[in-house]
Amino acid sequence: MSEQIQNIPITKPWLGEAEAEAARRAIMSGWVTQGTEVAAFEQEFAAYVGAKYACAVSNCTTALHLALLAVGVQPKDEVITVSHSYIATANSIRYCGAIPVFVDIEPQTYNINPLLIEDAISDRTRAFLVVHQMGMPCDLKAILDIAHRYELPVIEDAACAIASEILWDGQWEKIGKPHGDIACFSFHPRKVITTGDGGMITTNNPEWDQQFRLWRQHGMSVPDTVRHGAKQVIFESYPILGYNYRMTDIQAAVGREQLKRLPEIVERRRYLAQRYHQQLADIPGLKLPTESAWSKSNWQSYCVRLPDICDQRQVMQVMLDAGIATRRGIMCAHREPAYQMETWSCGSDLLSKSEQAQDKSIILPLFHQMTEQEQAQAVEVLKKVCLV
């Protein structure tokens, strides 16, 4: 290529005048937290994914925390999950005083290996917390088969998976319907759509939905909206220990506009992912991400496994020097100092595939506004460093 394009970010949120006007609408209304915009966003999100209920919260970590509490996770319980995920997955289990039991991943999907789950179940197992890593759906049918046999609930960490799909009983359905018991989403700026930060919990269980709504606002017995509109004085009470996990109306107003953009965003991401597939296929030893016949990713991230001869850090530095941002493979929680000293935390002998994915993978730039020229530049530099 004759012209170098500099400073290609790993991702970039697609925000515009519609979101700015929506935020202004919420600000000018005078009601800026957990009001009508939040309620509308919840209804629209539930309709989009096909869930009966959606509850907006401050972020996906708080969503996971409340989901675990709802299914009854208590101190010293065990929750089967993956180490190969952003640390929030494991942290949410520790917030409950419970212990994450880490299971290794499938190298080709970067998701939990269902064949290893049953051996991890003990008499203290209370739930499964499974991750749709980087937007790639995990094998929910295999996971749910095990969960049903052991009568254990399944929580989906769908932080990255809004608009990802799974083939279910012959029909393509959105992640978040939910197919397990509860699904949790993130609206962080790294995600496909964003509200700056924020999260959503979906479920078909009305009792859990009501519990989420109590917990997210300090356990207050009467919502602010009800008290504000009452014709008589109402004194609220706090019957349970709750949390400050609210979403603002400013965020929700932005989220409503982002939800409108979502089909176009995902269509573009799928197009760019297909271009990566085509343009990177001839690099010897480079392993590309693959969808199963029963899954469609939203391509929240495009992660490649480097050839054995390549050093991860060196490849990333060469690309950075060329103005192209990358990120290393998904982290492993058990390797972090906060978890290394725990007596229950297992090591590389049981999580070798997770560690290899972290050490040998990189995430390439992918975002809605990315041009074909920018993508070609990223491909060109990666090819040069891998073929040296």
Whether the CB-CB separation of 104 and 350 falls below 8 Å is answered with yes
| Residue for token pair 């016949």 | 293
Q: Tell me: the pLDDT tens digits for 191-227?
A: 999 999 999 999 999 999 999 999 999 999 888 777 7
CATH number of the CATH domain containing 355: 3.90.1150.10
pLDDT at 230: 80
Question: How many domains does the chain divide into?
Answer: 2
Domain termination site, one of 260, 282, 307: 260
pLDDT at 348: 56
Q: Is residue 368 part of a domain?
A: yes
pLDDT at 231: 81
User: pLDDT category, 178, cuts 50, 70, 90?
Assistant: confident
Same domain? 220 vs 270: no
pLDDT at 227: 74
pLDDT at 346: 59
Whether the CB-CB separation of 89 and 339 falls below 8 Å is answered with no
Q: Is residue 12 part of a domain?
A: no
Domain termination site, one of 260, 279, 314: 260
Q: Which amino acid is at 178?
A: P
pLDDT at 1: 46
Tell me: pLDDT of 347 over 70. Answer: no
Expressed as residue numbers, the domain containing 280 is: 262-386
Same domain? 291 vs 367: yes
Question: Phi and psi of 108, rounded to 5°?
Answer: -80, -25
Q: Is residue 319 part of a domain?
A: yes
Length of the chain: 388
Domain termination site, one of 260, 295, 312: 260
Tell me how far apart the alpha carbons of residues 354 and 340 are, in angstroms, rounded to a whole number: 15
Taking CA atoms, 94 is separated from 14, 15, 181, 227, 231, in Å, by 34, 34, 20, 35, 43
Tell me how far apart the alpha carbons of residues 161 and 165 are, in angstroms, rounded to a whole number: 8
Same domain? 240 vs 204: yes
CATH number of the CATH domain containing 157: 3.40.640.10
pLDDT at 234: 85
Q: Which amino acid is at 312?
A: Q
Tell me: pLDDT of 2 over 50. Answer: no
Same domain? 277 vs 256: no
Same domain? 46 vs 105: yes
pLDDT at 387: 86
> 379: Cβ–Cβ under 8 A, 6 or more apart, which residues?
276, 279, 280
Tell me how far apart the alpha carbons of residues 314 and 317 are, in angstroms, rounded to a whole number: 5
Q: Is residue 4 part of a domain?
A: no
Same domain? 223 vs 131: yes
Same domain? 286 vs 249: no
Weakest mean pLDDT among 63-72, 134-143, 220-229, 359-368: 220-229
Q: Tell me: the pLDDT tens digits for 67-89?
A: 999 999 999 999 999 999 999 99
State pTM to two decimals: 0.95
